[in-house]
């Protein structure tokens, strides 16, 4: 069993032009139940009001490093990689809220299981997050995944675990490559799998992170991707880990959701330029899905599309009735 304390965890906050949100995130960490939390803000050359807010942070527990130029979000993550030096590392975004007991619960897990290489928590998307909006976590359950395949299966099914807030074993974090050239802005998920490195994964089943939904989120900017090749390679990463055997649960999950995941993406315009038929042919050619897997997944894809349409019609009817 381990004997880790909060002093064994490097905490980084990636920040750019979201000063007010950043201050809330810092406050969440300073108010952790475990006490004496220290952190480093990696500011990506913010301008205007945010730059002024960052320059006025005056707390010995909060170290601020301001980049001389905007190096991009993924390169700011790489900077955290380079700077990390303690046993464990957490990388937060500057627009998320953290439960006051998160670090305390993380340490309980790390000190009870020496096989753990990744700790994460469920996240709730919230347009108006607030530090008082936390459900009771007294009976918080911990899900343990014995390998990357089990974890990938749950992520593929939609387990709400984001890149931000994940606790990494630092020596593995430093070895992992954040491959922006291949994956673009979705490089964080393959990076996460590389950091597992044969270890076990612990996930706090209660919501410990409120992820802020706002217009400036990079995931809302389709001009920056993900593009067809990047998304295909991400699905291939899952396929390589899970397979599509009907004799394994992870394989059956991929057969169920592989086609849908290829066609329903973060970017609704992903195959506008090359067309749907060519896009699927490219995915099969690159080994992201087999022909068998694609055709097996079509009924699930059409069922999903039909359900979404019904959901949309129902929502319209309910809005009409309110009028």
Please tell me the distance from the alpha carbon of residue 117 to that of residue 140, in angstroms, as a whole number.
20
The tokens describing 132, both together, are: 């008082």
User: Which residue reads 């979000």 in tokens?
Assistant: 73
Can you give the pLDDT at residue 197? 95
Domains and CATH numbers, the chain: 6-219 (3.90.550.10), 221-322 (no CATH)
Compute the distance between CA of residue 253 and CA of residue 133 in angstroms, rounded to an integer. Answer: 33
The closest alpha carbon to 145, from 122, 116, 173, belongs to 116
Question: Residue 43's beta-bridge partner residues?
Answer: 15, 66
- Count the neighbouring beta carbons within 10 Å of the beta carbon of residue 149: 17
- Would you write out the chain's pLDDT as a tens digit for each of its 323 residues? 789 999 999 999 999 999 989 999 999 999 999 987 999 999 999 998 888 888 888 899 999 999 999 999 889 999 999 999 999 999 999 999 999 999 999 999 999 999 999 999 999 988 888 877 787 666 679 999 999 999 999 999 999 998 888 999 999 999 999 999 999 999 999 999 999 999 999 999 999 999 888 776 776 678 888 999 999 999 999 999 999 999 999 999 999 999 999 999 888 889 998 999 999 999 999 999 999 999 999 999 999 999 989 988 888 887 766 65
pLDDT of residue 322: 62
CA atoms of 165 and 112, how far apart (whole Å): 20
Strands (DSSP E) along the chain, which ranges?
Answer: 9-15, 39-43, 62-66, 88-93, 96-98, 116-126, 142-145, 167-169, 200-212
Please tell me whether the peptide bond between 139 and the residue prior to it is cis, using omega within 30 degrees of 0. Answer: no
Position 30 scores a pLDDT of: 95
What's the pTM value of the predicted model, to 2 decimals?
A: 0.91
Question: Is residue 78 helix, strand or coil?
Answer: helix
Residues near 169 by Cβ (< 8 Å), separated by ≥ 6? 87, 88, 116, 117, 118, 195, 197, 199
Contact between 296 and 255 under an 8 Å Cβ cutoff? The reply is yes
| Separation between Cα atoms, residue 173 and residue 224, nearest integer Å | 25
For 86, 157, 232, 278, 307, the CA distances from 298, given in Å and listed in that order, are: 47, 16, 17, 16, 14
Please give the pLDDT value at position 204: 95
């Amino acid at each position: 069993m381990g004997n880790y304390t909060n002093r064994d965890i490097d905490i980084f906050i990636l920040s750019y032009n979201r000063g007010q949100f950043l201050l809330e995130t810092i406050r969440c960490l300073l108010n952790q139940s475990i006490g004496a939390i220290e952190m480093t803000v990696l500011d990506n050359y913010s301008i205007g009001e945010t730059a002024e807010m960052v320059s006025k942070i005056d707390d010995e527990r909060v170290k601020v490093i301001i980049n001389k130029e905007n190096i991009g979000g993924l390169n700011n993550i790489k900077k955290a990689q380079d700077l990390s030096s303690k046993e464990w590392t957490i990388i937060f975004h500057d627009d998320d809220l953290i439960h006051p007991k998160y670090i305390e619960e993380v340490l309980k897990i790390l000190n009870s299981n020496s096989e753990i290489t990744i700790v994460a928590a469920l996240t709730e998307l919230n347009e108006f997050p607030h530090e008082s909006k936390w459900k009771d976590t007294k009976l918080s359950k911990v899900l343990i995944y014995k390998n990357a395949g089990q974890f990938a299966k749950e992520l593929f099914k939609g387990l709400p675990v984001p890149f931000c807030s994940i606790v990494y074993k630092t020596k593995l974090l430093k070895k992992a490559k954040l491959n922006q050239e291949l994956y673009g802005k979705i490089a964080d998920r393959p990076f996460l799998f590389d950091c597992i490195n044969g270890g076990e994964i612990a996930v706090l089943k209660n919501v410990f992170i409120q992820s802020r939904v706002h217009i400036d989120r990079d995931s809302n900017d389709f001009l920056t991707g993900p593009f067809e090749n990047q998304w295909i390679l991400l699905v291939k990463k899952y396929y390589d880990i899970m397979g599509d055997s009907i004799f394994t649960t992870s394989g059956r999950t991929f057969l169920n959701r592989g086609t849908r995941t290829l066609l329903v993406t973060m970017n609704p315009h992903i195959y506008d330029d090359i067309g749907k038929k060519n896009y699927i042919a490219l995915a099969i050619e690159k080994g992201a899905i087999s022909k068998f897997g694609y055709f097996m997944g079509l009924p699930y894809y059409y069922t999903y599309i039909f359900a979404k349409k019904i959901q949309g019609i129902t929502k319209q009817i309910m809005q009409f009735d309110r009028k």
